[in-house]
Amino acid sequence: MMRVRINGSWLELVEGDITQQEVDAVVNAANPSLRGGGGVDGAIHRAGGPQIMAEAQRYGGCPTGEARITSGGKLKARYVIHAVGPIYRDGRSGEAELLASAYRYSMQLASEHRIESIAFPAISTGAYGYPLPEAATIALRTVIAELRQRPEIKLARFVLFGRNAYDAFAAALQALLPPA
């Protein structure tokens, strides 16, 4: 576990399962149809029950780089924010900007819904194939910038699935922080 102060708020890295988090909102790595999938998406719908899908369907999809919000169903979290990251192609097809946008959009929705604590998965790094080191740097840089501009969000936690993802995020965070 790693925890750093960003202005008055906290940024945390933990290894674990995002469906078990006690935060106001968990972010789902969704696809543009918002109709469910594997990975985090499958886990969130399994744990949260059918209410989440019923609400998500009403949006009729979500463009890549944006996000939509539903209730948390049976999860401990009150909300699920369904963020759509890019499919990684070659790194020169706008992927970095779209990935940053998915995180930024999620933080904006959190702010609008008075969410004070939010948990993110490593968006796009599973089925969508984004290389972990690059994805980690973009995710952390974007969420740190958002925390600085949105002091009402008190906690942003990255919940990394497995040692490999955790280590990539820990290394990226060390590299972004000013030397002690």
Q: Minimum distance from CB of 134 to ligand ADP (Å)?
A: 13
Q: Which amino acid is located at 28 in the chain?
A: N
| Catalytic residue ranges | 41
89 token code pair: 């192609």
Nearer to ligand ADP, 146 or 166 (CB): 166
Q: Which of 112, 179, 104 is nearest to 148 (CA)?
A: 104
Residue 88, classed as helix, strand or coil, is: coil
Q: Minimum distance from CB of 151 to ligand ADP (Å)?
A: 26
Q: Minimum distance from CB of 89 to ligand ADP (Å)?
A: 13
Nearer to ligand ADP, 5 or 107 (CB): 107
Asked if residue 34 lies in contact with residue 62, where contact means CB atoms within 8 angstroms, the answer is yes
Nearer to ligand ADP, 153 or 161 (CB): 161
Q: Which amino acid is located at 128 in the chain?
A: Y
Residues that bind ligand ADP (CB under 6 A): 17-19, 29, 39-41, 43, 85, 121-128, 159, 161, 165
Residue 11 phi/psi, 5-degree rounding, is -115, 125
